Structure 1
Amino acid sequence: MNEWIVQIMTSLNYVGIGLLMFLENLFPPIPSELIMPLAGFTIAQGKMEFFPALFAGVLGTMLGALPWYYVGKLVGEENIKRLADKYGKWISISRKDIEKADQWFHRHGEKAVFFGRLVPGVRTLISLPAGISNMKLVPFLIYSTIGTTIWVWLLTFAGYKLGENYELVDEYLAPVSKIVFIVLVVALVFWLVQKRRQKQRQRKV
């Protein structure tokens, strides 16, 4: 897959970045953890500019997020899960993946779209529960764009700094993403505890 990513980016330049990030959001097995670091390495070689590459990555991601959003909005949760059981193996999406993304959305509300864009394994599919829950398009685009911009910038900058070793981004990101996930869960638990205490205080009053 690495060679395929390199060929597309080399031949299509910024359009290649946008296309690859678009496909990455449609088909999770295509890793942004390799696409944008490679773009960063290419920038370090002087063959691309940083901000056009960043823009292409964000634009491709956002365009790729919209199909999943509208699938969730039009098809509905149960139908999507049934389709995942039947055809999900072809694009590496399972019922469990959908349920995980759905739980994220319901726990964090609209902010889940922002946080979800920063967590591998959730970021691609967070559009589904947003659509299922009929989240308005404008807030969806705003939260998604902010989260996506941060994610794409981090990956591109990491690839720029690592140079020829840009592939290490994918290797190092796996444990880091777990830490981020744990921190977010801890923060969520703390928030829920605080909310419960507030409700108890209100009842006593």
Structure 2
Amino acid sequence: MTALAATDPQLTGLTGFFADFIDTVGEVGVGVLTLLETLVPPVPSEVVLPLAGFLAHQGRLSLLWVVVLATAGSLIGAWVFYALGARLGLERALTLVSKVPLVDRADLDKASDWFHRHGRSSVFFGRFVPGVRSLISLPAGAQRMPLLPFSLATAAGSAIWNAALVGAGYALGTQWEKVGSYVGTASNILLAGLGVLLIAVVVRRAVQRARRPVDEVEHSRDEVTSAR
């Protein structure tokens, strides 16, 4: 057991290692672990980010820089999977990533299905869905989604998710471990809210498209009337 882990009985095993790594490297360590979380399943953001929030609560880290560097780590990891999808194509990329230990092929197929059903918006909304969060970048890359919109959607969704977990750890203090038990429910609630927002946008666009021919007809009539 190392320095920081020795001061808190909660910080044992892998969690203790994460805590000491972050305490030693600082906010950059949060970014590194978040990058690894995107690429390697055994590094869970539900543990790393609330823990970082707890350390910020103790004054060991800057809350702002934790969120910024965690989001940077998420974005870099997303770029790696995006490049993999763009380089290999979807099926070959899925086959390769499925060979990584603890990566479930069902999660890969779920991410692919999400992208095909929801299009580019899934890159943003997918950041809130376990099993889709990091893997959604593969089909986005394979479909050659423009890099700038992909990066902006990834950064925005990741920033919200990271800030929520870090903030929860900061608010709970020594009870930061409870965050993990609430993540599933919170993710579902947030996703439902975002889904309602997406539906509202889609409905609004559909109404606008439906009204456009009517407006064009009325405009034509006005022109004919004016000509007379």
Which category of TM-score, normalised to the shorter sequence, fits these structures? Answer: 0.7 to 0.9
Cα RMSD (Å): 2.6
Alpha-carbon distance between aligned partners in 1 of 2:29 and 2:140, rounded to the nearest angstrom: 28
Amino acid in structure 2 at the alignment position of 1:22: L
Tell me the residue number matched to 1:73: 86
Tell me the residue number matched to 2:166: 156
Tell me the residue number matched to 1:34: 47
Tell me the residue number matched to 1:11: 24
Tell me the residue number matched to 1:103: 113
Structure 2 unpaired stretches of 5+: 1-13, 213-228
Residue pair 1:119, 1:180 contacting (<8 A) in 2 also: no
Counterpart check, 1:139 vs 2:152: no
Tell me: higher relative CO, structure 1 or 2? Use CA pairs within 8 A at least 6 residues apart: 1
Shift of 1:189: 7.6
Tell me the residue number matched to 2:58: 45
Residue pair 1:105, 1:130 contacting (<8 A) in 2 also: yes
Residue pair 1:37, 1:158 contacting (<8 A) in 2 also: yes
Alpha-carbon distance between aligned partners in 1 of 2:176 and 2:68, rounded to the nearest angstrom: 20
Alpha-carbon distance between aligned partners in 1 of 2:157 and 2:188, rounded to the nearest angstrom: 17
TM-score by length of 2: 0.77
After TM superposition, the structure 1 stretch with the greater mean CA deviation from structure 2, 188-197 or 22-31, is 188-197
How many corresponding residue pairs?
Answer: 201
Query: Per the alignment, do residues 197 and 59 of structure 1 end up closer, same or farther by CA in structure 2, a change over 3 Å counting?
Result: closer
TM-score by length of 1: 0.85
Query: Per the alignment, do residues 197 and 8 of structure 1 end up closer, same or farther by CA in structure 2, a change over 3 Å counting?
Result: same
Aligned mate of 2:129, from 116, 119, 129: 119
Whichever of the two has the greater Rg, that structure is 2
Shift of 1:32: 0.9
Shift of 1:198: 9.7
Deviating above 6 A after TM superposition, structure 1's stretches of 4 or more consecutive aligned residues are 185-202
Shift of 1:100: 0.6
Shift of 1:40: 1.0
Structure 1 unpaired stretches of 5+: none
1:126-178, Cα deviation, whole Å (9 max, x unpaired): 11111011101111101111111111111111111000111111111123323
Amino acid in structure 2 at the alignment position of 1:83: L
